[in-house]
Amino acid sequence: MDFHEINKFAGALFGAGIWAMVVGMTSSFIFEPEMPTKPGYAVAAAGEAPKAAAPAAAKVEPIDVRLKTADAARGKKVFSKCTSCHGNDKGGPAKVGPNLYGVVGGPKAHMEGFKYSGTMADRGKAGEKWTFEDLDHFLANPKGFVPGTAMGFAGLPDPGDRADVITFLNSMSDAPVAVP
């Protein structure tokens, strides 16, 4: 390869670079981008309310009212989402989460030998019991009801589903709690 061939190669390379630069400048004049007034994206931090006003949430009936129409069979179907982490058979072992047999009306942090989060263990030591209302709030938003809980589930947003699951869990007991 002689010097003449090297010059042709370098000229073609530089020519292509200049052509790309000219096309880029021309396109930026034709298609001028709109720059935002404030660069970046709005990200809501934990515990921070969103900027836009959310529509008012629909009024949810109290759990006592919803339990009157709740169905344990539907609750069993909804509870199937929970079975990867929780068992519900009498004397069954813990999985990722504790076995939930007899949980309704029972003490919080009820399963011996299970390592509960500090907040849940403290509630159990204080003698708190799982009421229908507490279970409803916990199933709606576990981390909101028990800050620091290790339960990674986001919750059940549907109030009817929560009532059905609570009815199902209540049936999984030696002595189900009377529905008010």
One digit per residue, the tens of pLDDT, for the chain of length 180 reads 788 899 999 999 999 999 999 999 888 888 877 777 777 777 766 665 555 555 555 688 899 999 999 999 999 999 998 999 999 999 899 999 999 999 999 999 989 889 999 999 999 999 999 999 999 999 999 999 999 888 888 889 999 999 999 999 999 999 899 888
DSSP class of 30: H
pLDDT of 19 reads 96
- What is the pTM (predicted TM-score) of this model? 0.67
Please give the CATH architecture assigned to the domain spanning 63-171: Orthogonal Bundle (1.10)
pLDDT of 29 reads 81
User: Hey, what long-range contacts does 103-108 have (CB within 8 A, 24 or more apart)?
Assistant: 103/130, 103/135, 103/169, 103/172, 103/173, 104/130, 104/132, 104/135, 104/166, 104/169, 104/170, 104/173, 104/176, 104/177, 105/129, 105/130, 105/131, 105/170, 105/173, 105/175, 105/177, 106/130, 106/173, 108/134
pLDDT of 34 reads 76
